[in-house]
Amino acid sequence: MLSFGGVAAETVMLYPNIFGDAPASLERAREFMVAGGPSDYFPPLGATVVLSGLAAVLLTWRDPRLRWWVAGAAAAFIACEFLFSAVFFWPRNEIMFVDPVGTHSPQYLRQVAGEFVAGHRVRLAGGAVTAVLAFTALLRFARDTARAAVAAEAAR
């Protein structure tokens, strides 16, 4: 859910500035994001979410009420945030932000920026699915825990 919040915030705050007028906006983004940017924040966050998601799957696997919600959230995150990013976004990041300025034509940079924004919608939707599945598992766990506590109290 934290990762989805970060991606949603990035979408609202950064994307209009970074991709709004390519290639000029890409050059401004390079100048602005010298000390840090999304590439400094999201890879460590993503690795943490993958590891904690896998741990959550292992820890909840014996509970059939939670198992598939947690496993689905982990699978959606790995597919949409990690695998899709590695295959689709990383090469485009190289083109827009790593290759020396002037390597690619303005027309090509506009095309790549448009592809990036379109692909980002897929990533954002995958993050939303991940967050909904994880939140559903959390609610089910909280409700079951509350019911068990009420039943234990009534048995006293």
Query: What pLDDT shows up at residue 35?
Result: 83
Amino acid occupying residue 41: Y
Query: What pLDDT shows up at residue 59?
Result: 95
Contacts by residues 39-47 (CB-CB < 8 Å, ≥ 24 positions apart): 39/93, 39/97, 41/6, 42/3, 42/6, 42/7, 45/2, 45/3, 45/6, 46/3, 46/81, 46/82, 46/85
Domain that holds residue 7: 2-155
Under-50 pLDDT residues of the chain = none
Number of compact structural domains in the chain: 1
Say if pTM beats, i.e. exceeds, 0.85.
Answer: no
